Structures are given as structure tokens and as C-alpha cells.
């Protein structure tokens, strides 16, 4: 019962209900320990700073019951899966769009490219609001699904060209807005789970992101085959939208400590009539307006991504891997994605076993110093899998070779994708703790921008080189791609 109370009380539904009923439906824990501090201000006065009641405060997300933390974590992962699946579900519709609107192959692919590019740009701008104390992440998680609902409703527009332009713009808008909750998903899990649990939660969170674009084309092809129309993928997106929205609206509680304390301070002021109760976020408001802060953040994100040698090399590698994934959407039959899916299942099991038996015991040993490069061990294996995958796929994708052989080759892509991303993101987080948000935003921008642009060139590449040489070219590039020494050159690394 306590878990259900937490899930409903702190969800967007519970907060709206409490606001409308003046707090009569759900009870909150009081604040037993308050700090009195004199803080300098233009109008000096005695303020009571509202904080948590020590490390065992029941309002701290890590102290919630196991069921409440599990449901909240699953909601974050479902949101992550749904968003990334949405980027790929659309791809089986491209041929139908070309036929329905008289579009070229490049125009048909533009929706996918804009979606991917937009969610690369989004974290540089939109995610800023998602970490503001006054904003709720549940609301940010619901907003991205509006473009897909409008897109499904507009599918029978009167003008073919105008409908095509509208559809393309909405897909780009969905990618842009949706990047905000996705960019803070990892932070939410770190707030929900204890330090010893976080690596496993992040591992499963990453799986949800990997399985999204892999299962997307499979699901999209299934519904098109079933209903014989390209618009079936849009209705599938609407169904995913409805399920995710309802789940988030009712069962995703707020996890940001600054937001929890901000609301606690407001409740105390309402209960006592004393305006002295304030949270840290209210006492230290930003000195610059939002537009200036966004521009400065964008500049610092791009500067860090381009000038730091470690981040630059990491961004180049992830950019290549992402590009291969989205390029494959253009010439993969949907059956081929089952090979990647099988590889993903093996990868996550292997990674969790490595965490449990190798990495975590060393972290628990106070006498052992763990360098950030220790995080890269699985990634080194994954990096070798990428060229293996590309070369096998390149030279077995012909009629004279049994179809299972290239499928086996694609299975090597999943460890390259999953293990490399897990290692790289954890490595960057430990090496740049002060700049982690900027590092992740920059990495997302680089990989998504290039990954979104490459599908536009896919038809010309395939016509000029063929599948074998296209994949081989990417394989040679991946082969061409010393952590600790590079980190020592960085002015930003820890």
C-alpha cells in the first residue's frame, strides 16, 4: 500500500489531484529536521532551509519500497524503449510514403533523418528545462507523444505534398521534444537506485535503448503486412503513445531531489503560513535569463566535444556505430534484425556477469584503485565486433550464400553497439564528473547528427557500390578507429 501511495502521490496524476483537492487525497511525510541559516540577500531575513531528514528520509527516492522503485525504473525504461522504437517503426513505411506522395527515395527517408538529427540537437536546448527544480520529468515524458498523435490523425490530409511536409515536420518535432526526457533517464535511475544497484539499472536501461531501434522495423513490418497500408505504423505509434502516456501519468513519481524539496517547502509554507520555509533552489535563483543560459550551455557543450581529445575520439566512434545502425534500416529485410536481437540478449547477460564477478568486487575493495579506463574492458571487445560484423555481412549477402550466414554476422553488431556504448558512457561519466551533462549532450549531438544524415545518402551508396562494398567501407573505417594517455592531455578530465 505504501508503494502505491508513493507512485500515485508523486505522479503527475497525484499532483494534479492534490492540487485540485487542496491536498486531501494523498499524505506526505513531514520534515522533522530543518536548518535555520542566515543567508545574505537584498532584503536580509531569517530563512528556514528545507532539507531531507537525514539519509533515511522516506521521501528520498532511494529509500522508497522496492516495488515503488522497480515500477518507477521500469517506466523510465519503457519510455526509453518507446522513443527509440518510434524512430525505427517508421522505416518500413518509407516505400509506401514514396508511392502515396510521389516522393523520391531521399524525400521518403527525410522523416527518419529529421527525427534522428532532431533528438541529437534536442539535448543541447530542450533538456535544460528537464533538470530545472520547478519542472516535472513526468510532464516532459508525456509531451513528446503529441506529434505522433497528430501525425496519425493527419494521415488523410487533402493535399499530398502538404500532408507529406506536415508529417515530416511532426516526426522532426517528435525527435526534438522527445530528447528531453530521454536525456535525463539515466539521471532518474541514479536517483532511484542505490550506488551498488545503479550499474545494473543502467545496463538494463541501455538494453531498452538498443532494443528499441532493433525491434522497431520488425514491429512496423508486421503491422504493415497485417493491415496492408503504410499508415499502420502511425497507428502503432499512437498505441505505444497511449500506453506510455497512461503509465507515466499515473505511475511515474518525481525523482529529482531539488523538485521534491521545492514541493516540500511549498507545503510547509501553506501549512504554517510562514514564508521563511524555502528550499535551496528558491534561495539561489539563476542570475541570467533562460535564453542566455541555453546559448551558453550549447556553446560549452560543443566546445567540450570538439576540443577535448578523449571526447572527440569517443564521439567519432559512437558516431560511426550509430551511422551503421541507421544506414542498415535502408537495406535490411526485417528478418535480419533478429540476428542483432539475439546478439543483444547475449551482450546484456555477458555485461551483467562481468559487472557482478569482475568489476563490482574490485570497486567494493577499498585497497584497490579503479581507473576510469577499467570501464572500457567490455568496450574493447565490442569495438572488435563491429568490423567483424560488417565484413561478414558484406561478403555473405549474396544469393550463393545461405541466408543464415549474414544473419549470424549481424549478431556481432549488438555487442559492438551495446558493450561499446555502456563502456563509453560510464567512462565519460567517471572521467568528467563536473561536465557529465555537457559531455553526454555533445555525444548525443554528434552521433545523432551523423547517424541521421547517412540514410539520406544510402540509396546513392547502394547504387554505386552495392551492399558488399558499402558494408566493407564502413568496416575499413571502423578498423581505423590509448585511453589513459589521451585523458592525461585533457584539461577537463578528472
115-128 pLDDT, tens digit each: 778 777 877 775 55
Q: Is the pLDDT of residue 377 over 80?
A: yes
CA–CA gap between residue 276 and residue 50 (Å, rounded): 10
CA–CA separation, 71 and 252 (whole Å)? 8
Q: How far apart are CA 82 and CA 77, in angstroms?
A: 8
Q: In this model, does residue 291 exceed pLDDT 50? A: yes
- CA dist 340 and 345 (Å) reads 9
Q: What is the CATH number that goes with domain 1-25+45-285?
A: 1.20.1250.20
| 23-27, 112-116, 487-491: least confident range | 487-491
For residue 380, pLDDT beyond 50: yes
When pLDDT is averaged across residues 20-46 and rounded to a whole number, the result is 58
Residue 488 has pLDDT above 60, yes or no: no
Band of residue 340 on the pLDDT scale cut at 50, 70, 90: confident
Determine what percent of the chain is predicted with pLDDT higher than 70. Answer: 73
Residue 70 in this model has a pLDDT that exceeds 90: yes
Per-residue pLDDT at 26? 76
> Quick one: pLDDT at residue 39?
41
pLDDT digit string (tens) for 173-193?
A: 566 777 766 677 777 888 899
First CA to last CA across the chain, in angstroms?
44
Question: What is the CATH code for 288-493?
Answer: 1.20.1250
> Given a cut of 50, is residue 42 above it in pLDDT?
no
Residue 160 has pLDDT above 70, yes or no: no
pLDDT for 167: 55
Residue, of 475 and 60, whose pLDDT is higher:
60
Strand partners, 47: 37
pLDDT recorded at residue 319: 80
Q: What separation in angstroms does the CA of 486 have from each of 138, 216, 376, 422? A: 39, 37, 14, 19
Beta strand 277-278 with 46-50 is: parallel
pLDDT in tens, 400-425: 888 888 888 889 988 888 888 888 77
Task: Answer whether residue 31 shows pLDDT above 70.
Answer: no
- pLDDT tops 80 at residue 486: no
Least confident of 30-44, 84-98, 315-329, 404-418: 30-44
**Which of 144-148, 220-224, 283-287 has the least mean pLDDT?**
144-148
Whether 1-25+45-285 shares its CATH topology with 288-493 is answered yes
Going from N- to C-terminal start, the domains of the chain cover 1-25+45-285, 288-493
Q: Across residues 267-286, what is the average pLDDT? A: 80
Compute how many other C-beta atoms are within 10 angstroms of the C-beta atom of residue 73.
22
Q: What share of the chain is helix, strand, coil (3-state, %, to 5)?
A: 75, 0, 20
Share of the chain above pLDDT 90, in %: 8
Using H for helix, E for strand and C for coil, what is the string for 13-26? HHHHHHHHHCCCCC
User: In sequence order, what DSSP letters do the residues of 253-282 get, joined into one string?
Assistant: ----HHHHHHHHHHHHHHHH--TTEE-HHH
The most confident of 256-270, 286-300, 387-401, 448-462, by mean pLDDT = 256-270
Q: What is the pLDDT of residue 82?
A: 86
pLDDT, residue 64, reads 94
pLDDT at 38 over 80: no
Q: Find the helix packing angle between 66-89 and 198-227, rounded to 10°.
A: 40
Most confident among 14-23, 42-51, 66-75, 204-213 (mean pLDDT): 66-75
DSSP letter for each residue of 93-129: GHHHHHHHHT--HHHHHHHHHHHHHHHHHHHHHTHHH
- As a dihedral over the C-alpha atoms of residue 55, residue 57, residue 62, residue 63, rounded to 10 degrees, the angle is 120
What DSSP letter does each residue of 224-243 carry, written as one string?
Answer: HHHHSSTTHHHHHHHHHHHH
Decide which of 258 and 156 is more confident: 258
Question: How many angstroms separate the Cα of 171 from the Cα of each of 100, 112, 126, 149, 366?
Answer: 17, 7, 16, 11, 49
Looking at residue 68, its pLDDT comes to 94
Which cell goes with 25? Answer: 487525497
Q: Of 217, 211, 244, 128, nearest to 421 (Cα)? A: 211
Amino acid at each position: 500500500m505504501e508503494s502505491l501511495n508513493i507512485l500515485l502521490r508523486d505522479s503527475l496524476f497525484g499532483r494534479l489531484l492534490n492540487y485540485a483537492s487542496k491536498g486531501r487525497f494523498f499524505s506526505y511525510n513531514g520534515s522533522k529536521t530543518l536548518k535555520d541559516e542566515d543567508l545574505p540577500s537584498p532584503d536580509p531575513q531569517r530563512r528556514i532551509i528545507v532539507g531531507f531528514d537525514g539519509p533515511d528520509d522516506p521521501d528520498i527516492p532511494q529509500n522508497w519500497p522496492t516495488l515503488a522503485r522497480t515500477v518507477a525504473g521500469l517506466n523510465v525504461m519503457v519510455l526509453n524503449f518507446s522513443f527509440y522504437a518510434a524512430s525505427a517503426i517508421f522505416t518500413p513505411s518509407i516505400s509506401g510514403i514514396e508511392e502515396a506522395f510521389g516522393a523520391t527515395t531521399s524525400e521518403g527517408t527525410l522523416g527518419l533523418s529529421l527525427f534522428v538529427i532532431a533528438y541529437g540537437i534536442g539535448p543541447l536546448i530542450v533538456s535544460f528545462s528537464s533538470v530545472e527544480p520547478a519542472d516535472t520529468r513526468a510532464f516532459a515524458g508525456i509531451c513528446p507523444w503529441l506529434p505522433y498523435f497528430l501525425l496519425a490523425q493527419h494521415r488523410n490530409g487533402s493535399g499530398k505534398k502538404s500532408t507529406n511536409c506536415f508529417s515530416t515536420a511532426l516526426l522532426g518535432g517528435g525527435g526534438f521534444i522527445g530528447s528531453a526526457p530521454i536525456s535525463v533517464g539515466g539521471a532518474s535511475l541514479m536517483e532511484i537506485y542505490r550506488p551498488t544497484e545503479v550499474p545494473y539499472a543502467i545496463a538494463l536501461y541501455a538494453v531498452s535503448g538498443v532494443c528499441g531501434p532493433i525491434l522497431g522495423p520488425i514491429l512496423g513490418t508486421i503491422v504493415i503486412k497485417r493491415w496492408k497500408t503504410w499508415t499502420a505504423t502511425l497507428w502503432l505509434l499512437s498505441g505505444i503513445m497511449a500506453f506510455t502516456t497512461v503509465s507515466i501519468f499515473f505511475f511515474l513519481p518525481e525523482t529529482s531531489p531539488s523538485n521534491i524539496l521545492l514541493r516540500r517547502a511549498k507545503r510547509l509554507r501553506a501549512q504554517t503560513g510562514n514564508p521563511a520555509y524555502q528550499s535551496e533552489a528558491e534561495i539561489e535563483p539563476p542570475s541570467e535569463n533562460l535564453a542566455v543560459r541555453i546559448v551558453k550551455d550549447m556553446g560549452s557543450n560543443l566546445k567540450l566535444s570538439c576540443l577535448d581529445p578523449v571526447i572527440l575520439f569517443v564521439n567519432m566512434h559512437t558516431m560511426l556505430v550509430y551511422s551503421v545502425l541507421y544506414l542498415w534500416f535502408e537495406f535490411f529485410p526485417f528478418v535480419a534484425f533478429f540476428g542483432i536481437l539475439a546478439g543483444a540478449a547475449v551482450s546484456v547477460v555477458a555485461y551483467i556477469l562481468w559487472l557482478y564477478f569482475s568489476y563490482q568486487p574490485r570497486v567494493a575493495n577499498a585497497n584497490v584503485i579503479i581507473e576510469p579506463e577499467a570501464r572500457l574492458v567490455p568496450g574493447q571487445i565490442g569495438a572488435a565486433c563491429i568490423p567483424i560484423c560488417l565484413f561478414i555481412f558484406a561478403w555473405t549477402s549474396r544469393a550463393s550464400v545461405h541466408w543464415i550466414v549474414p544473419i549470424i554476422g549481424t549478431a556481432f553488431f549488438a555487442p559492438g553497439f551495446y558493450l561499446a556504448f555502456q563502456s563509453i558512457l560510464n567512462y565519460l561519466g567517471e572521467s568528467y564528473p563536473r561536465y557529465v551533462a555537457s559531455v553526454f549532450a555533445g555525444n548525443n549531438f554528434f552521433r545523432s547528427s551523423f547517424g541521421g544524415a547517412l540514410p539520406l545518402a544510402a540509396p546513392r551508396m547502394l547504387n554505386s557500390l552495392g551492399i558488399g562494398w558499402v558494408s566493407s567501407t564502413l568496416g575499413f573505417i571502423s578498423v581505423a578507429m590509448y585511453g589513459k594517455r589521451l585523458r592525461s592531455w585533457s584539461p577537463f578530465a578528472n
